Chains A and B, each alone.
Chain A
């Protein structure tokens, strides 16, 4: 880019200074304190008595390991469903259809709802006696008695996942749609001349061109989904019997409900490390462009 201007000036620092003061105060300081807190009760005892005990406890703790597993389950399921559904809808919207703008607006509508509200609406749909879902299934003759979608430990996770997929897939769809629209039409025309089938076109033109967008969508979605809190909190608060207690919910409860600050900090630090690890390739790829 334009490397000529202001190359040896300190003025640049003045412009970015307010931003980094805020970042240091509100993100930097709490982050450092959280890391220290995971080794010692920093707020009461200060910098004394560092110990790995909280981390050791973590990896012998069935509750933490269960929560880690729940997180992988929740994130794995929602992200793959977002991708599959998002890709299918993006392909449909990118094909020669009428009223494309209308369909596009309808397709992103769920994503415009805050996740807390999405959780409330689905909780209302899942209500065993007065909800839409049981009534629908009953009318179709699929169930004889009400199903407790959010109170049954083996059904609750899929129920929460469905609610999340409803709200979350449109954004992945939009990223993939943006990617589809940049693929040169000539490639498809050339394939037509060579007599490629629709499936071959998808496999040899669409997918390779879309690879980067799929990667970006996957990384961002994994990060967002791992941090998901509001939707699960309003639907189940992590229950029943910890069946939906993903790491963000566990850490919140340990800190603000049980006041196990050190233990909660250790959980959050692990969570942050997982996210940074996943995020590093993305950070590198994006900062290389600028």
Chain B
């Protein structure tokens, strides 16, 4: 009995630790600018208002544009990454060609590369071909950065589809590509949806690449836009926290939807979640 009580007590303390920053973020986002600068700070906003935080960040700053940029870039990258990843996953799942193990190793190793190693030369490359400060430059970067992980995850899903199904399709006169698109593709839809969401989230949360590959404010992503608001000489917390709530909401919702795939997705299948 004592053990049970201490487990609940421990979990209670952990929940307080986990939830307090959310509480503070939402509370601050509902304050007026004047109240956010009150000393000592108020824990609950005295007159909760949407106008100062949410209203101003949406009307006075470029935030809606940042949100649009993040959505466009992350979604395009996620779709490309998932489609190309599914093709590669199928190749690795169904064929034993020369160099297969080596290529799988390359795929895994490429996930270990630090962004700062790649982003500099990639920036110079984009500048040379005129893609610096464009959506396309970012989309290409995020598609590829998430690709190893998409391919790996989808290979795992394709492995669960019996290969007799492809063979039946081949006997019926389908080509390999048709067998993949018509037979396997529909069967791994849940896996594809999970992969799209994961890739979307990885791109959405990035700061480094957006910071190095864009310069105009109208090209900034939400994370970049918010990080610029914080380095201005006077920080307006209600606006910043309102922006943070809006930017944190889509990933939070998507991650909770993906709960069951979370572990498998992010360990590249090394752990069956």
Contacts and interface: CB of A to CB of B under 8 A. Distances in A.
Nearest to B209: A229
Given A23-B147, A105-B256, A130-B37, A124 B25 contact: yes
A60 interface: no
A289 B252 CA distance: 32
B87 A19 contact: yes
Contacts of A226: 114
A27 B3 contact: no
Contacts of A178: 263, 271-273
**Size range of the chain A interface in the assembly:** 35 or more
Nearest to A182: B272
B87 A12 contact: no
A161 interface: no
Interface string A118-140: 10111111010111100100100
B144 interface: yes
- Which of B91, B226, B273 has the largest count of A CB atoms less than 10 A from its CB? B91
A268 B88 contact: no
A145 to B, nearest CB: 12
Instruction: Name, among B19, B94, B120, B230, the residue most crowded by chain A CB atoms within 10 Å (CB to CB).
Output: B120
A264 interface: yes
B259 interface: yes
Contact of A112 (B116, B120, B252, B273): B252
Interface residues of B, number: 107
A37 to B, nearest CB: 7
A286 B92 CA distance: 14
A166 to B, nearest CB: 6
B262 A275 contact: no
A20 interface: yes
Contact of A124 (B122, B141, B212, B241): B241
Contacts of A252: 116, 119, 208, 211-212
Contacts of B180: 15
A113 interface: yes
Lowest 4 CB-CB distances: which A-B pairs, in order? A12-B95, A15-B91, A114-B205, A230-B207
Interface of A: 1-3, 5-7, 9-16, 18-20, 22-23, 25-27, 29-31, 33-34, 37, 43, 85, 88-89, 92-93, 95-97, 103-118, 120-125, 127, 129-132, 135, 138, 166, 170-171, 174-175, 178-179, 198, 213, 216, 220, 223, 226-227, 229-230, 233-234, 237, 247-248, 251-252, 255-256, 261, 264-265, 267-269, 271-272, 275-276, 278-279, 282-283, 285-287, 289-290
21 contacts: A1-B159, A6-B94, A13-B97, A23-B106, A43-B124, A89-B14, A92-B7, A92-B11, A108-B259, A113-B251, A120-B226, A124-B24, A125-B24, A129-B37, A178-B273, A226-B114, A248-B208, A252-B212, A269-B117, A276-B112, A290-B92
Interface of B: 3-4, 7-8, 10-11, 14-15, 17-22, 24-25, 28, 36-41, 43, 84-85, 87-88, 90-92, 94-97, 100-101, 103-110, 112-125, 140-141, 143-145, 147-148, 151, 155, 159, 163, 166-167, 176, 180, 204-208, 211-212, 223, 226-227, 230-231, 237, 240-241, 244, 247-248, 251-252, 255-256, 259, 262-263, 266-273
